[in-house]
Amino acid sequence: MSTVAAPHLPTTRARGRFRARALSLPRPRAELAALLVLAGVLNLWALSRNGWANEYYSAAVRSMASSWHAFLYGSFDQAGVMTVDKPPLASWVQVAFVKIFGFHSLSLLVPQALMGIASVTLVYDLVRRRFGRAAGFVAGLVLATTPITVAISRHNNPDALLILCCVAALWFVVRALEDGRTRWLILSGVCVGLGFETKMAAALLIVPAIAAAYLWVAPRGHLRSVGQLFAGGAGWSPSAWRGRCSSSSRPRPTGPGCRGRATTAS
């Protein structure tokens, strides 16, 4: 008695492509996972104990979450009498969380903690790219366990976002040093501009080092590197000057005055 073998159904192309992509994904790095867990514990553990942290910025976020006019101009009060003493980008991030989860202390502090974790991840990767995984782990560990880094990641001052923007700018510069593409410098400039919109000139401290490093390496020649740096500056300008333009163009009778000052803010 003869048996007939069951027909073999060929794997579809879509399934084959999915399997190939899954196999091509990099394996999770144990040291990076350990850094994320450590940073998460340090930044998020018992976070509610900090309450409203800097109440000046907490009140400003509540005002911005209640009025689009106050949101646009970074106003401290709902009437739009005075702005806060910093550009509004960090407060805007907190306002987004407040809109989603409601006005609560954790809606203000959790975004800060996540920014700290993201900064640790970027520091690990940018150092790993140049010096290997062990060096990346050490760099991320140093940032994650530095006391002031943990402190600002558990507070609602704008410093956590400032550090994230600066680290992201450096990460893009490292990518530009690898392949010499202008787009990485433009993205780096955008991050510097976002840092400027977070804490103004504090974000510019990294610019001389970025320019010096790129001109020193000059992956596509010194003359072209100068042009690429100017392109990066063009990426910085629109985001950095948004707040200044909106401030100068607001109607004087209705626009808030510049600027209030937080007695406990850095």
| SS3 state of residue 26 | coil
> CB-based contacts of 147: which residues, under 8 Å, 6+ apart?
none
> Taking the domains of the chain in order of start, what are their residue ranges?
29-157, 158-248
| SS3 state of residue 4 | coil
Backbone angles phi, psi at 104, to 5 degrees: -150, 155
pTM as predicted: 0.81
> Residue 90 to residues 42, 52, 75, 197, 239: CA-CA distances in angstroms?
21, 15, 13, 8, 14
* Integer Cα distance of 77 and 264 in angstroms: 18
From first to last of its 266 residues, the chain has per-residue pLDDT tens of: 555 554 544 455 656 665 555 444 466 689 999 999 999 999 999 999 999 998 989 989 998 988 888 888 888 777 777 878 888 899 999 999 999 999 999 999 999 999 999 999 999 999 999 999 999 999 999 999 999 999 999 999 999 999 999 999 999 999 999 989 999 999 999 999 999 999 988 999 999 999 999 999 988 888 898 998 999 888 777 665 555 555 544 544 445 555 554 444 44
* Integer Cα distance of 59 and 95 in angstroms: 11
